Chains A and B, each alone.
Chain A
Amino acid sequence: MITAPIQIWLGFFLIVSGISFGRMGPSFKRNQYTLFFVLLGTLCILLPKSNLYDQSSLNQLPEYYLMNIIDNFIPWFFTGFLGYYLVLVGAPTYWKIRYPQLISGWIIILSSLYLYVEYNSHFSVKEIFLAFSSFIGILISLLCFAILVRYIENSTPLDEPAPELTDEEKELVTRIISKNIGVDEG
């Protein structure tokens, strides 16, 4: 039987893996799995967890408080996420302004704020201050990672200069560019 902690952390790992699959570049072929992994991970976290709340020793589980917070967090977060998406689609950033999406997006965002104020557990200033310190940990790890990547990049020898394109490759490049700029090859 899958226990509740395994279900929660499997969901977390699936979400992080899914987001990582979305990376552009030489691994971009994997980004077709992003949505599937993120949805599967979210389902794992949201589906009922049989033995998290039933055990007599539930306070001993480190995930107990986390799941209480996630239960309060999910409704307003997903509502707000949908509102953000609609507003971004409707905003005149790249396209013409789309009023239906923009207005409905703002209405949904206001609903999410209402959900947060009405149903979310509220934290004291001390709790927020303490929680903010987790960002110090995140910043330290990101800084270490950046230093490590910089070290690896600097210590990697440069590749040999690439050989000149063959006639076949030149023809291929010409064909692709011609197709993209709409010029007849003939």
Chain B
Amino acid sequence: MNADLIELLYYVIGGFIISNISLILFQVVSYHPYSRPLIPILVQSISVLLCLVLIIELNEGVTDLLYSLRFGLSQGLIGIIIILPLFYVLMLYFLFMASIRSRQHDPLLALLDAE
């Protein structure tokens, strides 16, 4: 397979793995009596496991599941960090608009000011 295509696939799988691992962690540490995280965690764990096996199949240098997990997480995080400056610049626009916006008169806030 084309090397670029495989690299693209690594990034997609990496993004999928890092997002799923984060969601699994989120569900575990924010557990409360009304949440039902069992089925989502089970399905997400199986899908992550399948992705790890796929990485092992695609990459000859990756031989075990733990290394595959580290490789996938690294690829996902690298992808996010490379793209982050674009979002940073995009956010600057909204921040600039927030900086020059004049606040509309709010009678409730005026009451607070009066106090």
Q: Which residues of A contact B (CB under 8 A)?
A: 5, 9, 12-13, 16-17, 19-21, 23, 25-27, 30, 60, 62-63, 65-66, 69-70, 73, 77, 80, 84, 87-88, 90-94, 96, 102, 106, 109, 116, 120, 123, 126-128, 130-138, 140-142, 144-145, 148-149, 151-152, 156
Contacts and interface: CB of A to CB of B under 8 A. Distances in A.
21 contacts: A12-B77, A16-B22, A62-B75, A66-B78, A70-B81, A77-B84, A87-B99, A102-B99, A126-B4, A130-B11, A131-B83, A133-B11, A134-B75, A134-B80, A134-B83, A137-B12, A141-B19, A141-B44, A145-B44, A152-B39, A152-B40
Contacts of B71: 62
Interface in B57-71: 61, 67, 70-71
Nearest to B69: A9
Interface in B1-23: 4, 7-8, 11-23
Nearest to B33: A26
B52 interface: no
A128 B95 CA distance: 24
Contacts of B20: 141, 145
Contacts of A62: 67, 70-71, 74-75
A158 B41 CA distance: 22
Contacts of B76: 134, 137-138
A131 B47 contact: no
B103 A84 contact: no
A130 B33 CA distance: 41
Interface string B38-52: 011001100100000
Contacts, number: 161
Interface of B: 4, 7-8, 11-23, 25-26, 29-34, 36, 39-40, 43-44, 47, 61, 67, 70-71, 73-86, 88, 91-92, 95, 98-99, 101-103, 109
A69 B79 contact: no
A23 B31 CA distance: 10
Contacts of A92: 101-103
Given A16-B21, A126-B4, 16 more contacts: A13-B25, A16-B26, A20-B29, A27-B30, A62-B67, A62-B74, A63-B74, A69-B81, A70-B81, A128-B82, A133-B11, A135-B83, A137-B14, A140-B12, A151-B39, A156-B36
